[in-house]
Structure 1
């Protein structure tokens, strides 16, 4: 497995991450410690058709710059492990000079054995996990995002974000290609500022990988459920969501399709809400094709989201070219077309074409 796949797995977390980092710092007497890193920057030129302006920036891509630390220690029949990763923006200096925002999206410990794995701490959620981490433009740029932060890739144009959360999660061993994960996560208040949750948030994901002749096939389904109540307004918001997808590869060709549907859920990422969410639906899908020839990969991507809760419809088209200069250096060129419409009024909320050219260094 090459380093770009190792990085994607390390970012996804929830496994014995010490085997994935490229730099091993210590490995003696059953104890291992390793470090991995991801650095990127893109020249971005955006044609904003609504405001009729063209803006140039130097920004991060869909993934922030990251450094991660991994450890494991063999203790009889158990292996104790852990990961901490620090994600930083490179685009906040013009607002707060010399001040860099750093967030910790992973800080967890793991216990591995013949039974599988138990993870305790903070990690990405299970719902929408494979939807985003198997996205062909994960290391690219994608749709516009926050001015001082990362781009959004296909978040809100095909899938929601698996918000890093405090959790206790169980993962099964590999059962002939079948892997099952289920966890209890810190719930988000969706019934308003005075809301409360009697039960945690429940999330799960089932993944099945197999080979059919020369075709490598991966399928998955994931989900989320939680309930939030407010005695003040006599409101109960039940949030349910299901994500799914399939990815097939043969020779240099990869085809992928994924989607999701949700009710009473935040449309982009799950967070505490000051005002109760309505139990209205949203759904989205993402279609992608990729062809790899030698060290170069061409990606075509199209996604849509229709959200009653967020009152928007979006569509996003990306053409991307990824080239591995070597195992630690990648160059990327993308052309992205993003549109957003306000559902209640039919008015255009965004219409922008973006050219992004960048480089990625990883170890």
Structure 2
């Protein structure tokens, strides 16, 4: 019995020493031993022996103290070798480097009812479908799939990162002209992977950020990134043989910003203001032969604010590029600007957007931007959008149009004058990753003459983000 009591007291003393800071161990242990003696658990002999043991412990601690630097070095090495989960997203941290994975997958059942194919439904540059027979497809929406990899760290006080973005689709394509080429819905065909993003960044909070590589442009980017059809289908394009992307609201409210090689600088935020300016790979006029000696330039200014339940995002951007003609393709300069505002109060959201350009084209950058006589065509467009969210359900409505003027002295009655669309959408957040979407889109194309065409599109499906 005496041995059991003695062993229990010794264990209690050891546990207390391990759990107590060194500078407080001596007083705490002495108090514990005295209390055990007073309660009769320890005899005078046992108490004296344990006190003697306690007195010998500082020598042991002093002996082990010189090993502390080695233990610290080992701890640093273990930290470098360790792998930890990131605080957010899907990824990990090791050796001071963070690797994150992100992605998206979507698919929709789409039923499109095109206009009848007649002489007066021909519109050059029109986005409404013409064919007479309804079509059904299982396809991607405006977005293909997305798989992104981000690698970031801090070196010498600089935040540096690399991003790779791969965009695989679910639909089979011809691959003639790229991953988003014409659809080929037949056996043994395959989809494409669009490597849209490959860029590096470096910066500091007080300096701002420099981006070098291929990424989304500045002009027109906020228009598409805030469009409700980004998550869905919108105007379907060719639905009988779907590609890996639909049109959404491209060409019926804004010009597609595109993913472009660039060197861009973005300032730190000053209050709610932030500015970006970049030099871009010059783009060819679609359908023309030219050799451009000057790069393109784009810039954007944004302002964000929030007051209680009310918040807003405002932006303005500009673009300019000179096109050097060769032979029958004369020179011209394309310019444009856009402005927009997105306001949110509680569950309600309202967005307004407008763009204007000369020699800028429609649908895509520098598509139908000049006439055969070399003169520029002016263009403009807008869209209005409203959303309201209750719980997990969001309802959205939008209308937009893109207009293309004839060049001075041009006669072209079948050239598109206006592409427009109405969109009604319901979204339900099934989980934090998965959103269910149902949508109706009415698309109309009108030529400068009497020709016009319209189509109606129903879409239902889901999109996942992680």
> Structure 2 length as normaliser, TM-score?
0.69
Q: Which residue among 88, 91, 99 is the counterpart of 2:168?
A: 88
Residues 137/232 of structure 1: CA separation in 2 closer, same or farther (3 Å cut): closer
Judge conservation of contact 2:300–2:317 (CA < 8 Å) in 1.
yes
Judge conservation of contact 1:190–1:275 (CA < 8 Å) in 2.
no
Contiguous gaps of at least 5 residues in structure 2: 1-85, 117-130, 173-183, 407-414
CA distance in 2, matches of 1:192, 1:154: 23
Question: Does the residue aligned with 1:131 lie in a helix, a strand or coil?
Answer: helix
CA distance in 1, matches of 2:187, 2:340: 41
Matched, 1:335 2:426: no
Write 1 or 2 for the structure with the bigger share of strand. Answer: 1
Question: Does the residue aligned with 2:134 lie in a helix, a strand or coil?
Answer: strand
Q: Which residue among 257, 266, 273 is the counterpart of 1:162?
A: 257
CA distance in 2, matches of 1:258, 1:158: 8
Partner of 1:284: 381
Judge conservation of contact 2:290–2:329 (CA < 8 Å) in 1.
no
Judge conservation of contact 1:47–1:55 (CA < 8 Å) in 2.
yes
CA distance in 1, matches of 2:371, 2:146: 33
CA distance in 1, matches of 2:454, 2:217: 30
Cα distance, 1:342 vs structure 2: 1.8
Structure number with greater Rg is 2
Question: Does the residue aligned with 1:44 lie in a helix, a strand or coil?
Answer: strand
Residues 323/70 of structure 1: CA separation in 2 closer, same or farther (3 Å cut): same
Q: Which residue among 128, 140, 145 is the counterpart of 1:65?
A: 145
CA distance in 1, matches of 2:150, 2:333: 37
Partner of 1:116: 208
CA distance in 2, matches of 1:34, 1:222: 30
Q: Which residue among 409, 418, 427 is the counterpart of 1:322?
A: 427
What CA deviation, in whole Å up to 9, does each residue of 1:75-99 have, x standing for no partner?
A: 0210110111111222225257342
- Aligned pair count? 342
Question: Does the residue aligned with 2:365 lie in a helix, a strand or coil?
Answer: coil
Which protein, 1 or 2, shows the higher relative CO under an 8 Å CA cutoff with sep ≥ 6?
1
Residues 275/111 of structure 1: CA separation in 2 closer, same or farther (3 Å cut): farther
Partner of 1:33: 99
Partner of 1:346: 450
Cα distance, 1:21 vs structure 2: 7.2
Cα distance, 1:173 vs structure 2: 1.1
Question: Does the residue aligned with 2:450 lie in a helix, a strand or coil?
Answer: coil
Matched, 1:22 2:89: yes
What CA deviation, in whole Å up to 9, does each residue of 1:30-77 have, x standing for no partner?
A: 211111110010011111132432211111111111111111021021
Partner of 1:262: 357
Q: Which residue among 179, 188, 191 is the counterpart of 1:97?
A: 188
Q: Which residue among 324, 331, 337 is the counterpart of 1:242?
A: 337
What CA deviation, in whole Å up to 9, does each residue of 1:147-185 have, x standing for no partner?
A: 323111110000011111110000111111111011000
Partner of 2:295: 200
Cα distance, 1:359 vs structure 2: 1.0
Partner of 1:11: none
Cα distance, 1:265 vs structure 2: 1.6
Question: Does the residue aligned with 2:223 lie in a helix, a strand or coil?
Answer: helix
Cα distance, 1:213 vs structure 2: 5.0
Residues 45/192 of structure 1: CA separation in 2 closer, same or farther (3 Å cut): closer
CA distance in 1, matches of 2:314, 2:450: 36
> Which shows bigger deviation, 221-230 or 46-55?
46-55
CA distance in 2, matches of 1:139, 1:226: 31
CA RMSD of aligned residues (A): 2.2
> Which shows bigger deviation, 146-155 or 176-185?
146-155
What CA deviation, in whole Å up to 9, does each residue of 1:229-249 have, x standing for no partner?
A: 125347221100111101100
CA distance in 1, matches of 2:394, 2:299: 32
Partner of 2:461: 358
Residues 321/195 of structure 1: CA separation in 2 closer, same or farther (3 Å cut): same
Question: Does the residue aligned with 1:63 lie in a helix, a strand or coil?
Answer: coil
Residues 190/45 of structure 1: CA separation in 2 closer, same or farther (3 Å cut): closer
Question: Does the residue aligned with 1:165 lie in a helix, a strand or coil?
Answer: strand
Write 1 or 2 for the structure with the bigger share of helix. Answer: 2
CA distance in 2, matches of 1:96, 1:283: 42
Judge conservation of contact 1:191–1:275 (CA < 8 Å) in 2.
no
> Structure 1 length as normaliser, TM-score?
0.88
